């Protein structure tokens, strides 16, 4: 499936989904579907292994953080408008993001 993006920078964020570093994931709720900017200390496949290495007395350590995105951080495109105009890509990215989203 050929996916369309608002710009190459946002494409790179989406393609990094689930990997260490910064990425964009798509969160779907009953009311709204929206992008989140997510940062990961390690790839999603390594989270369980890394979590077991952290000492119990280490305090609160976050391996993943995320925050909602309204606009593309690179080109400024309104991401809600972009989602509305790209239904097939939206559904594909929701499914791909499902196991990567923080509640």
pLDDT in the model for residue 19: 96
CA within 13 Å, CB half, 8 = 0
pTM for this entry: 0.84
pLDDT, tens digit, 9 for 90 and up, residues 45-79: 888 888 778 777 777 778 899 999 999 999 999 99
Q: Using the predicted structure, report yes or no on whether residue 18 has a pLDDT greater than 80.
A: yes
pLDDT of residue 1: 66
Q: Give the start-to-end residue ranges of the domains of the chain.
A: 8-97
């Amino acid at each position: 499936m050929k996916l369309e993006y608002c710009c190459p920078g946002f494409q790179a964020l989406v393609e990094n989904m689930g990997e260490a570093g910064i990425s964009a994931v798509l969160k779907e709720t009953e009311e709204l579907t929206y992008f989140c900017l997510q940062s990961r200390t390690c790839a999603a496949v390594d989270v369980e292994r890394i979590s077991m290495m952290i000492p119990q007395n280490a305090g609160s350590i976050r391996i993943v953080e995320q925050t909602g995105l309204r606009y593309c951080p690179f080109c400024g495109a309104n991401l809600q408008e972009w989602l509305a105009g790209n239904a097939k890509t939206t559904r594909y990215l929701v499914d791909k993001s499902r196991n990567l989203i923080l509640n």
